[in-house]
């Protein structure tokens, strides 16, 4: 067999092994090691600052880390609490006007059916009765089937909340413990030659994750600014809050801006503000286009992977890993890319050494 064919076959086998290993790691091992990886990343970022503070004030790194994490989580909790209170206030206002909403909805349906009947010569009253019956059936089914299921799953929600608390608790403890011995751990890892590759790959993947987070924040800022300015210019009440909230929702997988803008557009229609409704729909389309264009482009250009590959990774990640695949997919692709590059470079170095010998 031709030597080039043998080398190519080995290269493809190595790539297949890397893909399989990354899949197993992300599928089965990531839930176990993720809090420790977050703790390591947090300590790595803070380590230079912790070193300076310790030298200046003789405060132990563990206490410093605990204090920083405490301040960080209290701040995040207060921000989330404030957002939740505003949302509950808005939802409470909507629920308090359910009767008005229902009345406007039926007036809207009646007007549409009358218009259809006059324009096309159809039975507008019959169409209206049919639509109202369908809507009532949907509401009844929702009350009978969906609401009880949501209540039955309340224990599952409590378990999920407990798992989130446990995740952050383990991460905090791991970060405090790691902060004390970070220098010693890194020195021991560097002493082992076989771990040099792991450290090099991990460093590059960490940098790529930082790029991904930076990209999300850039997109968040752009979409929040666009939505806020557009809604304010359109004269929609609460434009500042809705714009910022829309930008935040855009970061969440499979929720996005449509969760805010489409109901908002429907509400404008019910109130007879058709131009404002059109603005909301156009704004939704613009936000989708901005994210689909910027995310692969910003991540791909800085990571060195084609934007279409990043988009493919997001799609494949969702199919393979579920809802969190929107993050795991690109991260898995980046890991495969870096591991493969490292193995290929190592192989080329070994070949050169053999040739020189």
43-73 pLDDT tens trace? 888 888 888 888 887 778 888 888 888 888 8
Instruction: Give the residue with greater pLDDT, 193 vs 89.
Output: 89
Q: Token match 């059109």: residue?
A: 278
| CA 241, 244, 247, 253 torsion-angle sign | negative
Examine the pLDDT at 302 and tell me if it is beyond 70. Answer: no
Q: What value does the mean pLDDT take over residues 88-95?
A: 66
Instruction: Give the residue with greater pLDDT, 118 vs 177.
Output: 177
The reported pLDDT for the residue numbered 144 is 66
- CB–CB of 332/317 below 8 Å? yes
Q: What value does the mean pLDDT take over residues 220-227?
A: 89
Question: Among 150-159, 163-172, 320-329, which is the least confidently predicted range?
Answer: 150-159
Q: What percent of the chain has a predicted confidence (pLDDT) above 70?
A: 82
Q: What value does the mean pLDDT take over residues 18-46?
A: 84
Examine the pLDDT at 37 and tell me if it is beyond 60. Answer: yes
Q: What value does the mean pLDDT take over residues 290-297?
A: 78
Examine the pLDDT at 254 and tell me if it is beyond 60. Answer: no
The reported pLDDT for the residue numbered 155 is 64
Q: Which of 295, 301, 302 is nearest to 312 (CA)?
A: 295
The reported pLDDT for the residue numbered 7 is 67
- CB–CB of 50/65 below 8 Å? yes
pTM for the structure as a whole: 0.64
Cα separations (Å) of 91 from 4, 22, 85, 261, 348?
66, 43, 10, 15, 62
Most confident of 11-20, 121-130, 140-149, 168-177: 168-177
Examine the pLDDT at 99 and tell me if it is beyond 60. Answer: yes
| CA 298, 301, 303, 309 torsion-angle sign | positive
Examine the pLDDT at 1 and tell me if it is beyond 60. Answer: no
Instruction: Give the residue with greater pLDDT, 100 vs 59.
Output: 59
The reported pLDDT for the residue numbered 304 is 67
Residue 282: pLDDT band (50, 70, 90) is very high
Instruction: Give the residue with greater pLDDT, 176 vs 298.
Output: 176
Examine the pLDDT at 321 and tell me if it is beyond 70. Answer: yes
- Sequence spans of domains, the chain: 192-357
């Amino acid at each position: 067999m031709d030597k080039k064919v043998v080398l190519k076959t080995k290269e493809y086998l190595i790539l297949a092994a890397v893909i399989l290993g990354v899949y197993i790691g992300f599928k089965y091992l990531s839930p176990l090691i993720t809090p420790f990886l977050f703790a390591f990343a947090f300590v790595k970022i803070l380590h230079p600052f912790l070193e300076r503070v310790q030298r200046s004030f003789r405060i132990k790194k563990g206490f410093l880390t605990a204090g920083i994490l405490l301040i960080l989580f209290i701040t995040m909790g207060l921000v989330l609490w404030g957002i939740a209170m505003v949302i509950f206030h808005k939802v409470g206002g909507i629920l308090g006007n359910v009767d008005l909403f229902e009345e406007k909805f039926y007036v809207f349906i009646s007007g549409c059916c009358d218009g259809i009947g006059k324009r096309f010569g159809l039975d507008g009253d019959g169409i209206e009765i049919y639509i109202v019956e369908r809507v009532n059936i949907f509401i009844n089914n929702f009350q009978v089937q969906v609401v009880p299921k949501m209540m039955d799953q309340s224990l599952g929600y409590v378990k999920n909340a407990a798992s989130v608390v446990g995740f952050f608790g383990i991460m905090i403890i791991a970060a405090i413990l790691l902060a004390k011995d970070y220098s010693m751990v890194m020195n021991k890892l560097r002493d082992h030659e076989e771990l040099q590759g792991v450290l090099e790959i991990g460093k590059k993947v960490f940098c790529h994750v930082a790029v991904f987070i930076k990209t999300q924040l850039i997109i968040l800022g752009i979409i929040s600014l666009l939505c806020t300015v557009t809604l304010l210019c359109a004269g929609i009440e609460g434009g500042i809050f809705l714009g910022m909230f829309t930008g935040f929702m855009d970061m969440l997988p499979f929720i996005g801006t449509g969760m805010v803008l489409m109901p908002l557009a429907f509400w404008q229609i019910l109130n007879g503000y058709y131009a404002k409704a059109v603005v909301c729909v156009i704004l939704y389309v613009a936000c989708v286009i901005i994210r689909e264009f910027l995310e692969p482009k910003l991540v791909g250009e800085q990571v060195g992977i084609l934007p279409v590959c990043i988009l493919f990774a997001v799609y494949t990640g969702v199919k393979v890993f579920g809802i969190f695949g929107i993050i795991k997919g690109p991260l898995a692709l980046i890991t495969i890319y870096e591991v493969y590059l490292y193995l290929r470079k190592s192989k080329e170095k070994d070949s050169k050494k053999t040739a020189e010998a």
